[in-house]
Amino acid sequence: MSPRPSIPHGAMSPVMTALKPAAIYLRRSTDRQEKSLDDQRREIHRYASEHGYGIVTEFVDDGVSGTSGEARRGFLSMLEEAQSPKRPWQNILVWDIKRFGRMSSDEVGYYRWLFKQAGVEIIYTSEGFTGTSADRYLRFFKQEAARDESATLSKAVIRGLVSLADQGWWPGGMAPYGYDLGYYDQKGRLFQIVRSSDSGEKLVLDPEGRLIRTVERGQKVKASDTEHVRLLPSLSERVEVVRRIFSWYTGSTGMGCRAIAVRLNGEGVISPKGKGWGLSSIRAMILNDAYIGRVVWNRRTMGKFHRIANRREVERDGCGKRRLEWNAPEDWLVYEDAHDPLIDRVTFERAQRLMKERGEHAYATGFLTGKAKVSRYLLSGLLQCGACGGSMHGRTLWKSKRRKDGSRVGTSYYVCGASITKGKSVCQPIQFLQSAMDEFVMDIVGKRLTAYLGKTGRATLRRLVVRELQSLGRDPRPELSRLKERLAEIAKKTDSIIDLAASTPQDRDLLNERLGRLRLERREVEGRLREIESVPVHAADPDAIVDALLDGLADARRLFDHGTMEERKRVVRAFVDGLKVVGSKRSGEIRMKKLPALELVSAGSSIESLAGVGFEPTTFGL
């Protein structure tokens, strides 16, 4: 809601009357206080008419906590206008101390002082202050009581959340992709399902999946405190996407998060928020314990007053402001088998191991993020200090003299970040000329590109690809044929048992048991079949991979010669794993990838990296 809506009826211009000009401030914390704003407005207007005030404007914070002044747009807008010399009002009317804010008396005193310095008086219309010196003491005690009320409520909320987590209920927030939110009443009966649509709306369904109503994007699905939520498997096509992601990540080709995102986007699969799949969204899914039926809560704390430690609420230091803090694993609240899993535990644990093994490598090999993406230094994020192990940063030293045209003269270097931020006691600030370092790396990358695109390049690439494929294991196609044959056998046996059950009803229990075993085996075989089929067959074809690599290398050559700084950075990171330099020895080591990771060159690339070929460390002098 806008911090200043149109003035309701009853507003008047002080120019036309002799009334004292005033602004009103309205606030409510949650949208469940349906009539709170209207009640405040009505009572304040009544007070104004009885005490000679004319309402000029109003400021509103709807659904905003009052425990701090920093996040309230209406409040800050009111303060800004109060400090303007053209302000058309002299007083602020607010219903009570709580509406002005549940801040500490120190913070409230700070804001009251700012308003007083601007010549504005704050009037609480329902508190009954008399205008005597006793008001200061009474206001202090009421302010602290309002603050304590919020802190007490924080404790109660935490106790409730711990109780929910202990019973395996979903603690709150969006359902992970592939799940819906199932709402249960006090008796444990499912009464509605909430599903996110592809357009971002929330679809409220009955237990049979029939649409009840649609809730617009950004709006909450209201629920009482007696209702609890559990995750339910969503549409079968979404569940299948989740299983494909884990299968690709843990499969024989070892697709990375970025390659999976590119593939899903290429297939037109709608992402959870409709903005396209990205590396971070795939990574978050692979790390999410919910996919094996596990609820993990309290990994981090964002509470204003309390955090959970040893299953109890503990006061947080600070001023009642939200701030993120990661909790120790022993303070996590974990509940197993809280809901139906979408991924088996063996696959999930393998994905966690692979994520841990690839995590440091993926960061070092150049997924450009943060400052490394926008930095004008070519080697940002690749250089490591050999003395302390910290990252090296670009730095420009400017001379006092300027050129004739007035521009500044500067020289750019790479220097250890720890030496800048932590001082010489940690690491010496030995500098390496940026132009020399960049030219050295560009020369190596350029030669590698020329070699791969030359006469013997194809043979070299094929040899590396074959070696990589051999390290990944056997060709999956024989197993694919075997599994299909087994499915056909299971289908025949199932048909035979069904026919036999019809002719010999006395043996039905035994036949049903055999039928159950066959159905279980069929599900296992079908799961393995889906896993293998999700891996492209062409990935095991060395010549197809080499063709794709050569096409990518041609693009890389073009970007290397004529691309922007970001494009050239991507090309460098496709070849270079990292550089370590030792300033005291003026030497270093560069790690070149034996196979270029060309999926880093272009977001639209269909090339999948092959991780097992390794690196070629080469020492050099500076």
**How many domains, the chain?**
4
Residue 187: other Cβ atoms inside 10 A: 6
Burial grade of 556 (CB within 10 A; 0-12, 13-18, 19 or more): buried
Q: Which of 88, 105, 128 is the last residue of a domain?
A: 128
Return the structure tokens found at 504: 């010999």
Tens digit of each residue's pLDDT (9 = 90 or more) over 240-252: 999 999 999 998 7
Tokens 């030669």 belong to 447
Per the CB < 8 A criterion, the answer to whether 435 and 565 are in contact is: no
603 pLDDT more than 50:
no
Tens digit of each residue's pLDDT (9 = 90 or more) over 81-128: 999 888 899 999 998 888 888 777 777 888 888 898 899 999 998 887
Residues 429 and 376 in one domain: yes
Per the CB < 8 A criterion, the answer to whether 424 and 446 are in contact is: no
Residues 547 and 528 in one domain: no
Average pLDDT, the chain: 77
225 pLDDT more than 70:
no
Q: Which of 485, 509, 534 is the last residue of a domain?
A: 534
Tens digit of each residue's pLDDT (9 = 90 or more) over 262-295: 888 888 888 887 777 877 788 889 989 999 998 8
Residues 548 and 408 in one domain: yes
Residues 350 and 403 in one domain: no
- Provide the pLDDT for residue 364: 35
- Cα–Cα distance, 441 to 590 (Å, whole number): 9
Query: Amino acid letter at 302?
Result: M
Q: Is residue 518 part of a domain?
A: yes
Please compute the mean of the pLDDT values over residues 64-69 and round it to a whole number: 74
Terminal-to-terminal C-alpha distance of the chain:
60
List beta partners, residue 61: 27
Residues 501 and 574 in one domain: no
- Provide the pLDDT for residue 8: 45
DSSP 607: P
Residues 283 and 395 in one domain: no
Closest to 29 in 3D by CA, of 126, 102, 110: 102
- Grade residue 578 by pLDDT with cuts at 50, 70 and 90: confident
Residues 460 and 575 in one domain: yes
Please compute the mean of the pLDDT values over residues 581-586 and round it to a whole number: 78
Residues 375 and 503 in one domain: no
Of 90 and 401, the one with more pLDDT: 90
Residues 466 and 483 in one domain: no
Residues 66 and 42 in one domain: yes
Most confident listed range (13-17, 267-271, 303-307): 267-271
Q: Which of 494, 510, 534 is the last residue of a domain?
A: 534
Tokens 């196609």 belong to 477
- Provide the pLDDT for residue 367: 41
- Cα–Cα distance, 564 to 67 (Å, whole number): 47
Q: Is residue 312 part of a domain?
A: no
Instruction: Check which CATH number belongs to the domain holding 99 and give it.
Output: 3.40.50.1390
Q: Is residue 221 part of a domain?
A: yes
Per the CB < 8 A criterion, the answer to whether 384 and 391 are in contact is: yes
Q: Is residue 164 part of a domain?
A: no
Element (H, E) at 180: strand 179-184
pTM metric for this prediction: 0.44
Radius of gyration, alpha carbons of the chain: 33
Closest to 434 in 3D by CA, of 480, 358, 382: 382
Per the CB < 8 A criterion, the answer to whether 178 and 188 are in contact is: no
**Residue 76 domain boundaries:** 20-128
Residues in the chain: 622
Q: Is residue 219 part of a domain?
A: yes
Return the structure tokens found at 115: 């308003």
